[in-house]
A and B are shown apart, each in its own frame.
Chain A
Amino acid sequence: MPMAAADIADMIRAAIPDAQVEITDLAGDGDHYAARVVSESFRGLSRVAQQRAVYAALGGRMGGVLHALQLTTAVPN
């Protein structure tokens, strides 16, 4: 069962409250998404650490129910 874009965004915001989250449904099939997550909490973290924080927010769904999520992370300008 694929995840809805809103559910992905909600889970990320629940774990990273200040996160600005943009989700794009790449294929229009509810199964291939791109997410851009911007948070002050990423400042000073490596890219790997930033993405791990988002994966942690998704509670193990990444690589499972969520198999195709293109992810970019950034700190606010």
Chain B
Amino acid sequence: MTDAVQQRIAEIVGGHDVVLFMKGTPLFPQCGFSSRAIAILEHLGVGYDTVDVLQDQAIRQGIKAYSDWPTIPQLYVKGEFVGGSDIMMEMYEAGELQQLMTDQGVAPAN
């Protein structure tokens, strides 16, 4: 793992309020877990950006080291790792994900 990749990831994570590292795109997710993560973000109605790890092997491996988390998707809010799709679902069902977005001042989707 090169520092350059970690640096790129840090810039992506730091440069977006809400960013999801996923397999595929919001319109064409390539994995059920990524699909579920997108559905949750859509339900929340917040603005978000995505990174398709299938387009970049260095990011795909690097993001796992960055967060010490072995799976994708991975959600980051205001630079902090929140969790994968299971945690997103648990938090969503408990109302905690909406609360987090509100607390962090995340803007609604346009």
Contacts and interface: CB of A to CB of B under 8 A. Distances in A.
Interface stretch (B1-9, B44-52, B67-75): B67-75
A71 B83 CA distance: 12
Interface in A42-67: 47-48, 51-52, 55, 60, 62-64
B83 A72 contact: no
Say which size band chain A's interface belongs to.
Answer: 10 to 19
Instruction: Give the interface SS of chain A, mostly helix, strand, loop or mixed.
Output: mixed
A56 B52 CA distance: 26
B39 interface: no
Interface of B: 32-33, 64, 68-72, 81-84, 86-87, 90-91
27 contacts: A47-B83, A47-B87, A47-B90, A47-B91, A48-B69, A48-B81, A48-B82, A48-B83, A51-B83, A51-B84, A51-B86, A51-B87, A52-B69, A55-B69, A55-B70, A60-B70, A62-B70, A62-B71, A63-B70, A63-B72, A64-B70, A68-B32, A68-B33, A70-B33, A70-B86, A71-B86, A72-B90
